[in-house]
Structure 1
Amino acid sequence: MATIGLDKLYYATITDDENGEEIYGTPTQMAKAISAELSVELAEATLYADDGAAEIVKEFKNGTISLGVDDIGSSTAAALTGVTVDKNNVMVSNSEDGGDPVAVGFRAKKSNGKYKYYWLYRVKFGIPATNLATKGDSITFSTPTIEGTVLRRNKPDTSGKHPWKAEVTEGDKDVPASVISSWYAEVYEPDYTV
């Protein structure tokens, strides 16, 4: 079903434990969402045998997320890109900046009024793009866009795999209401228990 909206854009900081596996902080609202564009790159290999394709393997390699937002405040910019905020709350960008990866969550409204929820488990953001224009005969809003590389997480889930994304549609059969109601309380952890 088609989506007709986008909102509730959150991020969660990531710290690594002694094994290099992710520990997610409490989700924090990033900004008001304008757009989100996710593209995925696959690693692909084909084994040929007996004059034809015998096996084909396609695995997630990485992805790119481009987020259009209303504004990125200084604390969010510091968490996402590593910029420094000085004692006067001025953001200072340095050539050595490079923020730590974060988890990113958001939801998209569907035409039936329900939502599709997402968590991207590990995103490394670059410096936000800025587009500015002078005010002419009409008013045009200029908003920042921030692009990040989506990676699989280091921490395996309970099935031993390394997820890169979780998504669920509100109202789908057998989806517990608690999954939806707690989506932004913490980064979703896959549950394969029976």
Structure 2
Amino acid sequence: MATIGLDKLFYSKITEDDNGNETYATPQVLAKAMTADLSVELNEATLYADDGAAEVVKEFKSGTLSLGVDDIGAPVASDLTGSTIDTNGVVISASEDGGDPVAVGFRAKKSNGKYRYYWLYRVKFGIPATNLATKGDSITFSTPTIEGTIMRRNKLDAFGKHPWKAEVTEGTEGVDQSVIDGWYDEVYEPVGELNLSPIHLPSGDVTM
């Protein structure tokens, strides 16, 4: 089922132990979301045998997240890009800046009124792009765009893997409502045993 909306854009700062394993802080509002474009790059290898492809392996390599937002406040800009805020409250961007990775969460509304929820576990953002235009005969809004690289996290999940995304659709059979209700209380952590039973999505539902 198609999505028709985007909101509740949050981020969570990451701290790492000596082995690089992530601990996530309490999520905070990033900005009001306008657009979110997510693309994924895969590592692919093909084993040929008997004059044909015998095995094909495709694994997540990295991804790109491009966010269009209404505005980026000074504290958020500092957290995402590594810029500093001086004693006058002015954001100072330097060539040496480099923000630490954060987790990013948001939700997309579907045409049936339910929501699809996301957490991206490790995203490293670059400097926001700003588009400005002089005022003319009509009003044109100029809003920033910020792009980040999506990476798998270092910490293993309950299944011994390195997740890069968590995704759940509200109202899907087998989804506990408490998971939906607490989605922004903390970054979602895979728990329990892997559910191997098929989850039946409504016709036409495609995950991002």
Judge same fold: TM > 0.5, yes or no. yes
For 1:77, what is the secondary structure of its paired residue? helix
TM-superposed CA distance for 1:18, in Å, is: 2.7
Does 2:112 match 1:137?
no
Superposed displacement of residue 191, structure 1: 1.2
* Other-structure match for 1:7: 7
CA drift of 1:135 comes to 1.0
Alignment of 1:102-121 (within 5 A): 102-121=102-121
Query: TM-score w.r.t. structure 1 length?
Result: 0.99
Cα distance in 2 for partners of 1:68, 1:168 equals: 22
In the alignment, the residues of structure 1 paired with residue 162 and residue 49 of structure 2 have an alpha-carbon distance, to the nearest angstrom, of 30
Q: Within 5 Å, give how 1:143-154 maps onto structure 2.
A: 143-154=143-154
1:181 aligns with 2:181: yes
In structure 2, C-alpha distance between the alignment counterparts of 1:48 and 1:192, rounded to whole Å: 37
Aligned alpha-carbon RMSD (Å): 0.8
Number of the residue aligned with 1:62: 62
- What is the percentage of aligned positions where both structures have the same residue? 75
Q: Residue type matched to 2:154 in 1?
A: N
Query: Partners of 2:118 and 2:185 in 1: how far apart?
Result: 13
Task: Write out aligned runs for 1:23-172 (5 A).
Answer: 23-172=23-172
Structure 1 runs of 4+ off > 3 angstroms?
none
TM-score by length of structure 2 reads 0.92
Measure how far apart 1:17 and its partner are. Answer: 1.6
* Distance (Å, rounded) in 2 between the aligned partners of 1:61 and 1:26: 27
SS, match of residue 5 in structure 2: coil
Unaligned runs of 5+ in 1: none
Unaligned residue ranges in structure 2 (runs of 5+): 195-208
Secondary structure of the structure 2 residue equivalent to 1:4: strand
Q: Give 3-state SS (helix, strand or coil) of 1:193's partner.
A: coil
Cα distance in 2 for partners of 1:75, 1:13 equals 12
Amino acid in structure 2 at the alignment position of 1:158: A
- Which secondary structure state, in structure 2, belongs to the residue aligned with residue 191 of structure 1? coil
Aligned-pair CA distance for 1:38: 0.1
Distance 2:31 2:13 in 1: 15
Residue-pair matches, total: 194
Distance between the aligned counterparts of 1:142 and 1:72, measured in 2? 12
Aligned-residue offset at 1:193: 3.1
